[in-house]
Structure 1
Amino acid sequence: MIPPTASSAIPRRSGALMMVSIVLMLAGCAPTPEPTPTPTAAFASEEEAFAAAEETYRAYTDALNAIDPKNPETFERTYEFSGGGFQSADRENFSTMHAEGYVIDGDALVTRFVGKEADEPLDRVVAVICVDVSNVTIHDSTGASVVNPHRPDVYEVEVTFKRDTDRLRIDSADRIEGTTCEG
Structure 2
Amino acid sequence: MRLVVGLLVAATLAALTGCSGEPEQEAPASTPSPTAIPVFASEEEALAAAEDAYREYLEMSDAIARDGGRDPERLGSLVTRDELVRAVAEFEAFAESGRQTRGSSRFNTFSLQQYESLSKVAQVTVYVCLDVSDVRVVDESGRDITPAREARQPLSVIFVSADEGSQELVLQRSEQWSSNFCE
TM-score, scaled to structure 2: 0.69
- Does the alignment pair 1:169 with 2:170? yes
Runs of 5+ unmatched residues, structure 2: 1-32
Distance (Å, rounded) in 2 between the aligned partners of 1:56 and 1:178: 24
Aligned to 1:152: 150
Aligned pair partner of 1:115 in 112, 116, 126: 112
**Alignment CA distance shift 1:41-1:131 (3 Å):** same
Aligned to 1:125: 124
Distance (Å, rounded) in 2 between the aligned partners of 1:55 and 1:126: 14
Q: CA deviation at 1:135?
A: 1.1
Q: CA deviation at 1:78?
A: 2.5
Give the residue type in structure 1 aligned to 2:123: R
**Alignment CA distance shift 1:49-1:145 (3 Å):** same
Task: Tell me the SS of whatever aligns to 1:94.
Answer: helix
Distance (Å, rounded) in 2 between the aligned partners of 1:137 and 1:113: 23
Q: Which has the larger radius of gyration?
A: 1
**C-alpha RMSD of the superposition:** 2.5
Q: Percent identity?
A: 26
Q: CA deviation at 1:152?
A: 0.2
Count of aligned pairs between the two proteins: 146
C-alpha offsets along residues 6-35 of structure 1, whole Å, 9 cap, x if unaligned? xxxxxxxxxxxxxxxxxxxxxxxxxxxxxx
Distance (Å, rounded) in 2 between the aligned partners of 1:162 and 1:37: 23
**Is 1:69–1:94's contact at 8 Å kept on the other side of the alignment?**
no
Alignment of 1:27-106 (within 5 A): 40-67=37-64, 68-70=66-68, 72-73=70-71, 75-106=72-103
TM-score, scaled to structure 1: 0.69
